[in-house]
Amino acid sequence: MAAMRNDHKERQIMYEVNREELNSLLIIDDEENMRHMLSILAEGEGYRVKSAADGIEALEILAGTPFDFILCDLKMPRMDGMAFLDAVGELKGNATIIMMSAYSTIDLALEAIKKGAYDFIPKPFKPDEVLLALKKAEEKEKLSRENVRLRSRLRNLETEVSFGAMVGSSRPMKDVFSLANKVAKYSTTVLITGESGTGKELIARGIHIVSPRSERPLVPVNCGSIPETLLESELFGHVKGAFTGADRDHKGLFEEADGGTILLDEIGDLPSLMQVKILRVLQEGEIRPVGSSHNKKLDVRVLAATSVNLEEAIQQGTFREDLYYRLNVMPIRMPSLREHPEDIPFLCQLFIERFNKQLSLRIEGVSPGAMSLLVDYRWPGNVRELENLIERAMVLAETNFIQRENLPASLIGSKTESNGPNDDELVGFSLKEAKKVWEKKLISRALQTTGGNRSRAAELLELSFPSLLSKIKEYQIVVPEG
């Protein structure tokens, strides 16, 4: 058995590395009709299905083949569902197990979940209930894999130039990464603010991934996308009979995040009534499902994000001041892209590499003239706008480099007001040399603005004073007399 488990472990590792799809399903049920029905249902949704009549047969199958999902009946001869959960061990791999039973009770469901099951479906069930359970399991597994990938990337990149899926070598981004790394260690509530497209959700995911809660789920919630009438039930769950159509207990998103992290995205759009309820959760650390008379204690870290100016919203009466102070324990402000244009060349190359793989292209980079336009543009849509623009430009490009003519006309028109380097100042295709030209131009502009005051110029440029002096000497910049 030990040798069989070791062989299986090696196959499981290779299986996970070499595939992306989540579509293999093992059905374990002693009733042939049930196996047949579930197989047809799952195959119709694109799953690759195999079946077993009991736990012993299932273990034999798992020893040779890894699966993404397992649907397992509770009552079976030879080895029932509970015994299977006890015995499966490493043979389970990364499979998500969903239990089924016609003899379901709350105690049985809790026991199965404690033994490693993800969900519990009582029989008889409707086909949609099975498919919904599988889709939920699929989303959970995708999120888990994303977290694994991001953790791996964090290990391979130095902290000062990356955090989670975000990268940047500019001083504003390094400051964000440093602060995020510090707060990630604790369960402190974090409020992430910034314009749309600056990467608020990415920094939240990074905080979760490097936190002690990384093995538990991160549950993102867009507060503005859920109808107000459904928001309380979605966040806190409901009990059977709480309202028309509530034919069973429903676990809310806060409970899904128990032990992990919940991201309340666009919290500035939260209705006033829900603001009161969220405030109570933050104060008491407990929720009350809709229709229930009992509270549930939870251990959930709350991250909140918004592009709304909450201080202005408080003045306008649309956001509670007490909730703001509960959320704003540790504020992180995401800078707009126009505040760190020196990261644009690096971001462009990152997006080019990504879209080359996705679109099967061979774009090598951005021409100096096009890069000059990109660096000078104001980027109202921030990094997200840059990413979309690079994808569009790569599709339109007729050479191995993105040219000026591949960029939108509105962006080309913005060059007329530019103070950045022009095509004549940029030679060749080196991003390193282009950065030097840009730095020299920006330092000269800062010195002109401050009348030659080097200390003040260093503050504007967010450089240390010695670094500024070094660059003045390197670029042979003439300092204006005050």
For 407, list phi and psi in degrees, rounded to 5.
Answer: -95, 155
User: Does residue 348 contact residue 374 with C-beta atoms inside 8 Å?
Assistant: yes
Query: In this structure, are strands 330-333 and 301-306 parallel, antiparallel, or unpaired?
Result: unpaired
Measured in degrees and rounded to the nearest 5, phi and psi for residue 193 equal: -120, 165
Could you tell me if 277 and 313 lie in one domain?
Answer: yes
Residues 129 and 170 in one domain: no
pLDDT of residue 313: 95
Please count the structural domains in the chain: 3
User: The domain containing residue 181 runs over which residues?
Assistant: 166-335
Residues 77 and 50 in one domain: yes
CATH code of residue 271: 3.40.50.300
Query: Looking at residue 131, which CATH number applies to its domain?
Result: 3.40.50.2300
Residue 10 in this model has a pLDDT that exceeds 60: no
Q: Are residues 314 and 203 in the same domain?
A: yes
Q: Is residue 326 part of a domain?
A: yes
Task: Confirm whether pTM is higher than 0.75.
Answer: no
Q: At residue 154, does pLDDT exceed 50?
A: no
Q: Are residues 347 and 327 in the same domain?
A: no
Q: Identify the top-confidence range among 43-52, 96-105, 234-243, 325-334.
A: 325-334
Q: Are residues 346 and 317 in the same domain?
A: no
Co-location of 203 and 278 in the same domain: yes
Q: Are 73 and 34 in contact (CB under 8 A)?
A: yes
What is the pLDDT at residue 380?
Answer: 92
Evaluate whether residue 286 is within a structural domain.
yes
CATH number at residue 398: 1.10.8.60
Tell whether 180 and 323 lie within a shared domain: yes
Across the range 324-330, mean pLDDT stands at 96
Tell whether 481 is covered by a domain: no
pLDDT tens digits, one per residue of 352-377? 989 999 999 999 888 878 888 898 88
22 and 78 fall within a common domain: yes
147 in a domain, yes or no? no
Q: What is the pLDDT of residues 92-104, one digit of tens each?
A: 888 899 988 887 6
Average pLDDT over residues 442-451: 78
User: To the nearest whole number, what is the mean pLDDT of the chain?
Assistant: 84
> What does the pLDDT average to over 320-345?
94
What is the 3-state secondary structure of the chain? CHHHHHHHHHHHHHHHHCCCCCCEEEEECCCHHHHHHHHHHHHHCCCEEEEECCHHHHHHHHHHCCCCEEEEECCCCCCCHHHHHHHHHHHHCCCEEEEEECCCCHHHHHHHHHCCCCEEEECCCCHHHHHHHHHHHHHHHHHHHHHHHHHHHHHHCCHHHEECCEECCCHHHHHHHHHHHHHHCCCCCEEEECCCCCCHHHHHHHHHHCCCCCCCCEEEEECCCCCHHHHHHHHHCECCCCCCCCCCCECCHHHHCCCCEEEEECHHHCCHHHHHHHHHHHHHCEECCECCCCCEECCCEEEEEECCCHHHHHHCCCCCHHHHHHHCCEEEECCCHHHCHHHHHHHHHHHHHHHHHHHCCCCCEECHHHHHHHHHCCCCCHHHHHHHHHHHHHHHCCCCEECHHHCCHHHHHHHHHCCCCCHHHCCCCCHHHHHHHHHHHHHHHHHHHCCCCHHHHHHHHCCCHHHHHHHHHHCCCCCCCC
Q: What is the model's pLDDT at position 13?
A: 39
Do 415 and 378 meet the contact criterion of CB atoms below 8 Å apart?
no
Residues 310 and 433 in one domain: no
Mean pLDDT for the stretch of residues 101-124: 81
pLDDT score of 179 more than 60? yes
9 pLDDT above the threshold of 80: no
- Measured distance CA(49)–CA(63) in Å, rounded: 16
Using 50, 70 and 90 to split pLDDT, how confident is the model at 177? very high
Residue 428 scores a pLDDT above 80: no
